[in-house]
Structure 1
Amino acid sequence: MSCKSCSTGGCGTRGLTEKASGCQNNGACGTGGCNKMNVFDWLSDMDVPVMKRFDVVEVKFKGGRKEYFRNINQLDLHTGDYVVCEMASGYHIGSVSLQGDLVRLQMVKKKVANDENLKSIYRVATPRDLEKHEQSIARDLTTMYRARELVKDLKLNMKLSDVEFQSDNTKATFYYSADERVDFRELIKVLAGEFKARIEMRQISLRQEAGRLGGIGACGRELCCSTWLTDFKNITTSAARYQNLSLNPTKLSGQCGRLKCCLNYELETYIDALKDIPHVDAPLQTQKGKAHLQKTDIFKKIMWFGYENDSTTWHPISLENVNRILSLNAKGQKPVSLEVLEIEELVSLLPAPGINSDLAKMDKKFSSRDRDQQQSGNRNRNKKKKGGGNAGGNNPANNAKPTNNPPKGGGEKK
């Protein structure tokens, strides 16, 4: 049976059978629909007896939410299996996402205590349990639309983003985002009376909302917050300044409306590369005039400067020459111009005489041969244009005048 999250129909759980159907990956096919907050169990091939395994299992629910439950019945579980889990009121069905010693490490990372407060796994979900679970999932969308209408009628300044019904239909969790504190007591009464379930309102941030809903980012891939990113670190505009990015909010903001999380991915690399870049807080003084910094290529170690009276021409200067000009300006001296330094740098990049001379001869040989072939081709084309072909008005044979002389060896028949 599939995970009901994508159109492949075969990337879900083992269920009650021995082998998974479809792609045989038990919920980790990576098609984009069933890999939400997925993890790779690199210890899954270790043959550990069931009795000696770590008895806590990580279970994933709708929206990538994960919780930890104790396998008190020592069930033989596999990644992707749907299990019936204990809840504060009733039960809920989720899929096994991780088990074994990796769960112990995740609990330490997330600071989850391994004590008696952990709830238990009742059993592997039966077909009847899964059918009831699908019915509860089918209620989520219609309930969210109706709840949004009620929020609009009550004039509450909040945004409902998702609804999750418990598998036994005794509880419904409404996820919302708001900029300020919201008094939703009246809303809870109306929702409880209409849907006949226990209502829980859970406020989430805009980043968490984007992670639950998912989507495609500007890079063409699924959002990081909906596939693997769990810790949302603080992101400032200084990260964009370090990377010489344009401070355009429409380009720097993600689908959540906040600065993109990927601005922090390469920030440390840029900061490390910027250690060698001199800080130019004033224009460079040359005999030709003042040169202002226009652009810096951090990894190529090149800085572009332009004169005040010529904003269209930029001169690439190496870091060594920039430091030399700064030291000269500090002493009150001025170089002739930036063009002289630019020519010196271009000359320094040329190969020394005698180096790779055989390659230079080979390039000259083939370039001359290509040039001769091109010239001969041009001459042939010119001849065809002048001489014409067998058909057309340019053929002299076609333009010849007819004569009355009979052909040789023949005459009129009598």
Structure 2
Amino acid sequence: MIELITATQLDYFDNLYIEMKGDAVERDDYIVAETKRGFEMLRVVKSNYRVPKDNIVEPDGRFVRLATDEDVKAFDKNDGMARESLSFCKEAVVEEKLDMQLVNAKYTLDRKKLIFNFTADERVDFRNLVRILANRFKTRIELRQIGVRDEAKYLGGIGPCGRAHCCSTFLGDFVPVSIQMAKNQDLSLSPTKISGACGRLMCCLNYEDEYYEDAREQMPDVGQTIDTPDGRAVVIGMNILDLVVKVKYKDDYIREYHCDELNAVGEV
């Protein structure tokens, strides 16, 4: 299986398609493929690799060929035309008084379809808009309503970590993220601290959640009275990442212990 990307949309292709063509596909190669969206030029982000039986998914399309110089030129031309189409569509949305915000526009490589992505709080009746666009551009028009996370994925940007948004670079499908993950990591629950550019919980909260869940099982709760190498004390804080517990004794003496030290006491 090979993994490819276009506009931050991950697609997966069975290696059989490539083997039938006799092409060797490597990372960062560009190919032309027929997907559910139409004919597209895609960039390979992961070359051939074995997939566990339980993780096998249906191919997202059909490999056609390695991209040629003509394909690259067509892609660049289509990109410029799509920008002009987006400007026209924005004006049409205002004239039609539709409550929707356009995100981007894209032509398929063969220019048989023009796709507009937009966000909206509610369902939008855009049938008349489609007629206006089809009459203007003389091609098949597709309007797709996407969510705020998808919008951030398409637009890109820099996160609070100083790096490009995960969803715009390497993240394929969105994974569920819950407030419990922030609690597990002892993070501030302020929305401004744990929310991404999309306004939803940051995807990266999921990355280390499994580690923090396992670590919490090894550590006592804050307020719990425990036995330490120096006697009994009350837990007043912890550093989950380093597996360090901060305790306070009756004489107000405060000390830190690694979980291994506390477990050794419990084994005696």
TM-score clears 0.5: yes
Give the aligned CA root-mean-square deviation in angstroms.
3.2
TM-score, length-scaled by structure 1: 0.50
For residue 199 of structure 1, report the CA deviation from its aligned partner: 0.8
Q: In structure 2, give the amino acid aligned to 1:277.
A: P
| Greater relative contact order structure (CA < 8 Å, 6+ sep) | 2
Matched ranges for 1:333-344 at <5 A:
338=250, 340-342=251-253
Map of 2:227 onto structure 1: none
Q: 2:132 aligns with which of 175, 182, 190?
A: 190
Q: 1:84 aligns with which of 26, 29, 32?
A: 32
- Cα distance in 1 for partners of 2:72, 2:140 equals 21
Shift in alpha-carbon separation, 1:90–1:202, aligned structure 2, 3 A: closer
Contact 2:177 2:205 in 1 (8 A): yes
Write the deviation string for residues 222-278 of structure 1: whole angstroms up to 9, x where unpaired: 111122222322222232233332221112110011011122233333333333323
For residue 219 of structure 1, report the CA deviation from its aligned partner: 0.4
Report whether the alignment pairs 1:129 with 2:71.
yes
Report whether the alignment pairs 1:297 with 2:238.
yes
Report whether the alignment pairs 1:162 with 2:108.
no
Write the deviation string for residues 124-165 of structure 1: whole angstroms up to 9, x where unpaired: 433333222211011222222322222232232322212111
Greater shift, 271-280 or 150-159, is seen at 271-280
- Cα distance in 1 for partners of 2:118, 2:112 equals 20
For residue 89 of structure 1, report the CA deviation from its aligned partner: 9.0
Report whether the alignment pairs 1:240 with 2:186.
no
Write the deviation string for residues 167-194 of structure 1: whole angstroms up to 9, x where unpaired: 2222111122223222221121111112
Matched ranges for 1:84-123 at <5 A:
84-86=32-34, 91-100=39-48, 102=49, 105=51, 109=55, 111-112=57-58, 118-121=61-64, 123=65
Contact 1:165 1:171 in 2 (8 A): yes
Q: In structure 1, give the amino acid aligned to 2:173.
A: D
Q: In structure 2, give the amino acid aligned to 1:111.
A: V
Matched ranges for 1:261-410 at <5 A:
261-275=203-217, 276-278=219-221, 280=223, 296-298=237-239, 299-302=243-246, 317=248, 321=249, 338=250, 340-342=251-253
Shift in alpha-carbon separation, 1:78–1:301, aligned structure 2, 3 A: closer
SS at match of 1:167: coil
SS at match of 1:152: helix
Shift in alpha-carbon separation, 1:237–1:98, aligned structure 2, 3 A: closer
Q: In structure 2, give the amino acid aligned to 1:183.
A: D
Shift in alpha-carbon separation, 1:188–1:230, aligned structure 2, 3 A: same
The runs of 5 or more residues in structure 2 that have no matched partner are: 225-234, 257-268
- Cα distance in 1 for partners of 2:215, 2:37 equals 55
For residue 217 of structure 1, report the CA deviation from its aligned partner: 0.6
Contact 2:100 2:118 in 1 (8 A): yes
Report whether the alignment pairs 1:204 with 2:165.
no
Contact 1:171 1:199 in 2 (8 A): yes
Q: Which has the larger radius of gyration?
A: 1
TM-score, length-scaled by structure 2: 0.74
Shift in alpha-carbon separation, 1:263–1:65, aligned structure 2, 3 A: closer
Contact 2:32 2:66 in 1 (8 A): yes
Contact 2:41 2:67 in 1 (8 A): yes
Q: In structure 2, give the amino acid aligned to 1:109.
A: N
How many corresponding residue pairs? 240
Shift in alpha-carbon separation, 1:170–1:108, aligned structure 2, 3 A: farther
SS at match of 1:247: coil
SS at match of 2:212: helix
Q: In structure 2, give the amino acid aligned to 1:261.
A: C
Q: In structure 2, give the amino acid aligned to 1:211.
A: K
SS at match of 1:270: helix
Shift in alpha-carbon separation, 1:108–1:93, aligned structure 2, 3 A: farther
